[in-house]
Amino acid sequence: MIKEDTLKKVLYIDLSKKKFWIEERDDLFSQFIGGTGVAIKLLHENCKYDTDPLSSDNPIIISIGPLNGLFPIASKTVALFKSPHTGNLGESHAGGRSAIAIRMAGYGAIVIKGKSERPCYIAIHGDRVYFKDATTLWGLEEGVSAASLIRRQESGAGLRTIMRIGPAGEKMITYACVTLETYRHFGRLGLGAVFGSKNLKAVVVSGKRDLKVNDFKGYKECYSNLLKQLAESDKMKKYHELGTPANVMPLSFSKGIPMKNLTISELEGLENISGESFAEKHLGRRVACSHCPVACIHLGALRKPYEDEPYFYRTVYLSYDYELIYALGTMLGVASPEGVLRLIEVVEDMGLDAISTGVVLAWSTEAFEKGLINEKMTEGVIPQWGDVDAYSQLINKIVFSEGEFFKDLGKGIDYASSKYGGKEFALTYGKNEMPGYHTGYGAHIGYLFGARHSHLDSAGYAIDKEAMIKSFDEEQFAEKIITEEYWRQILSSLVICFFGREIYTPQIILQCLKLTGFDLDEKRLTEIGKEIYAEKYRFKIKCGFDVDNIELPQRIFELPSGTGKLNKDFAEKIIGKLKEKIKSLL
């Protein structure tokens, strides 16, 4: 790392004592680069393994890496915490303005500890840190946005990030998200609930500075090359044009997109919620994260009439993506773009993770059909495939109802199905709800063993795509899953958006790292990736995660996947290989 680089600064904030201090951690950054690598070390340091995730002892680690602020599409921030949803490692990534704001404020990581006595928000403007009262921002009624109030109070317009929670975070729903810049999220694993448990409504970060590189001329050349590739390469075209929803139709042809809780493979009217259809009828604007020219964020315009006032409408802009079309569309049998956008609006207003919410509703619908739950429990709302009104009401009730059933749903379907039954069709992996790919062994086993039980851990769907034309044995599947996850530890330590992964080859990454003062070679890089992954697994296991005691949901073996019907024995063989590999790391 370059000597003057502020990346090494870790800002500690104690909400209980309203104190903050800075520690310089060259040791961590020079060894583990930044982002997820540094964050997992800080989590080990700051979180006792038996900590209750919703207690004041659970720290929030927010970190960035050396490439942020220097190279295009290095636009992501990593958050690590103990997850209230799974009880072990919580990890979530977000873009927006966050990474650049933290870099410009002069930090590599922020560690938030303790609990505020009253609702508060933190404002970090460069080296100044303020604890601000947020009692008036807590429990806001619909129509008033905490973020717009904070925007008026704080400086740094244009360069700041405002990370905030909604009602779901305040109520500590275990899959509450943290929203940034209206449209980006620390979505999965419940960081929103951890904010809520600390009486922390928001974190604002801003700053402005110049950074150092080793060779300015070389830097400019490297930068222009990257910018050109990001603009012109076919590898980025998908994200440029239709965005991630470009996947809806191809995945539906191969039966890889889950529908109605994985009970069917065809949904009437699916083409209406394709990327093409959204773009044609609803795409209102495209926006980007800071320092990313791709602008993959697609905002759909939803025109809504006022029921009691003729000729009065409001138009809201909602960010749609493949995962949302899956979770709030196909998974619920909703095949109209307006329906999907309406559900996205409710999920955004509540501040929930869209994937978990969709899968929770899908499980509830099937559980209701099977008579495991009844109308009394659901307080008169009947969950039915395709019924957008009912689903909107249910989402509201998950957050606001005091009823026992909804309190249970607010803990996810691993919890709910252990109480009400229906485990065999509860699509969860290590207690986290399923992402939108029923493509084959790679995807499902990737979710099960990924450090954060996400499709982003090892992108198993890409391995399944390969498996459509090549045949892999159990060893090859296991090796591909784990190798991809090692490599992604590097990308998320830098921190590059995974969408840029094909542009950022190991050679380019080494070149960028050299310019920022990290002299590494490819072998060392791979070793660091492996070590970060091992550190994550060490954390998980110390928190009670048992690799010998997790299994795939029964349902996935019943409906043919994108690569045909899955065989349980073969899945077990891959799992066996993966377990061996993980155990040998520890």
* Binding region for other proteins (CB under 8 A): 69-70, 72, 100, 104, 147-148, 151, 157-159, 181-183, 208-213, 216, 219-220, 223, 227, 231, 285-295, 297, 299, 316-317
Cα 334 to Cα 390: distance, rounded to the nearest angstrom: 12
Strands of the 283-287 sheet, one edge to the other: 283-287, 297-305, 313-320
Residue closer to other proteins by CB (options 78, 104) is: 104
Residue closer to other proteins by CB (options 72, 84) is: 72
Strands 428-429 and 60-63: unpaired
Q: What's the closest the beta carbon of residue 293 comes to other proteins, in angstroms?
A: 5
Per DSSP, the three-state class of 533 is: helix
Q: Which residues contact 576 (CB under 8 A, 6 or more apart)?
A: 474
Residue closer to other proteins by CB (options 302, 361) is: 302
Determine the Cα angle at 446 with ends 441 and 447, to 5°: 110
Residue closer to other proteins by CB (options 82, 298) is: 298
Long-range contact set of residues 582-586: C-beta below 8 Å, sequence gap at least 24: 582/449, 582/482, 582/537, 582/547, 583/547, 585/530, 585/533, 585/534, 585/537, 586/534, 586/537, 586/538, 586/541
Residue closer to other proteins by CB (options 70, 246) is: 70
Q: What's the closest the beta carbon of residue 77 comes to other proteins, in angstroms?
A: 15
DSSP structure class, residue 7: G
Q: What's the closest the beta carbon of residue 289 comes to other proteins, in angstroms?
A: 7
Residue closer to other proteins by CB (options 128, 370) is: 128
Q: What's the closest the beta carbon of residue 222 comes to other proteins, in angstroms?
A: 11
| DSSP secondary structure, 411-454, as one string | T-HHHHHHHHS-GGG--EETTEE--S----HHHHHHHHHSTT-S
Q: What's the closest the beta carbon of residue 103 comes to other proteins, in angstroms?
A: 8
Cα 37 to Cα 78: distance, rounded to the nearest angstrom: 10
The label of the residue with tokens 């109070």 reads 153
Cα 530 to Cα 523: distance, rounded to the nearest angstrom: 11
Q: What's the closest the beta carbon of residue 5 comes to other proteins, in angstroms?
A: 11
Closest CA to 68 of 196, 182, 161, 178: 161
Q: What's the closest the beta carbon of residue 380 comes to other proteins, in angstroms?
A: 34
Residue closer to other proteins by CB (options 50, 232) is: 232
Residue closer to other proteins by CB (options 144, 231) is: 231
Burial class (CB in 10 A: 0-12, 13-18, 19+), 155: exposed
Q: What's the closest the beta carbon of residue 173 comes to other proteins, in angstroms?
A: 25
Q: Are the C-beta atoms of 445 and 571 separated by less than 8 Å?
A: yes
Per DSSP, the three-state class of 9 is: strand
Q: What's the closest the beta carbon of residue 178 comes to other proteins, in angstroms?
A: 16
Q: Are the C-beta atoms of 173 and 399 separated by less than 8 Å?
A: yes
Cα 456 to Cα 435: distance, rounded to the nearest angstrom: 9
Cα 338 to Cα 481: distance, rounded to the nearest angstrom: 37
Residue closer to other proteins by CB (options 293, 560) is: 293
- Which residues are registered as beta bridge partners of 9? 24
Cα 561 to Cα 422: distance, rounded to the nearest angstrom: 21
Residue closer to other proteins by CB (options 231, 586) is: 231
Residue closer to other proteins by CB (options 187, 386) is: 187
Cα 432 to Cα 443: distance, rounded to the nearest angstrom: 14
Residue closer to other proteins by CB (options 111, 296) is: 296
Residue closer to other proteins by CB (options 36, 290) is: 290
Identity of the amino acid at 372: L
Cα 313 to Cα 344: distance, rounded to the nearest angstrom: 18
Q: What's the closest the beta carbon of residue 470 comes to other proteins, in angstroms?
A: 36
Residue closer to other proteins by CB (options 405, 504) is: 504
The label of the residue with tokens 């890496």 reads 65
Please compute, for residue 554, the number of CA atoms within 13 A of its CA located in the half-sphere on the CB side.
5
Cα 289 to Cα 295: distance, rounded to the nearest angstrom: 7
Q: What's the closest the beta carbon of residue 260 comes to other proteins, in angstroms?
A: 31
